[in-house]
Amino acid sequence: ELVAGWDTDESALKIALEVGCKPFIAHRTVQLEVNSQWRGLTWDYDKSVYNKDFNFINIRAPRTQFVASLVLYLLYCVIFSLAIARTNCQPPPNNHICEGFLAPNTTFLEWAIYFY
């Protein structure tokens, strides 16, 4: 979320949209919180369209940013689990006994419990 406030100038809103709401393009609708109520605002880079009575705006970040963060977090969990699984392998001659989902005979349930 990006918070922007201004008096009568539109520069704060323009900066907020350009910095905090990418990848928005022209003629897009942005969700704004005005007096604790979410309202739609249509923004055009050529001509600004908004209500100048707004005193305080809370701009909701794009949903794609949240999805990207979630995907990166899950990817990190998988890589971290792989690293743990590699370090938990027993030395020879018992190197076929490994903990984690790198083990050759690990069932899906065992993998799920370990990953959880």
Residue 111 confidence (pLDDT): 57
The Cα–Cα gap between 47 and 105 comes to 63
The tens-digit pLDDT sequence of the chain (116 residues) is 344 443 334 444 554 554 444 433 333 444 444 444 444 444 444 344 444 444 344 445 556 667 777 888 888 777 766 665 555 555 555 555 555 445 555 555 565 565 55
pLDDT at 98: 53
pLDDT of residue 73: 80
Give the contacts of 86 (CB within 8 A, at least 6 positions apart). Answer: 100, 102
pLDDT at residue 76 in the model: 78
pLDDT of residue 103: 53
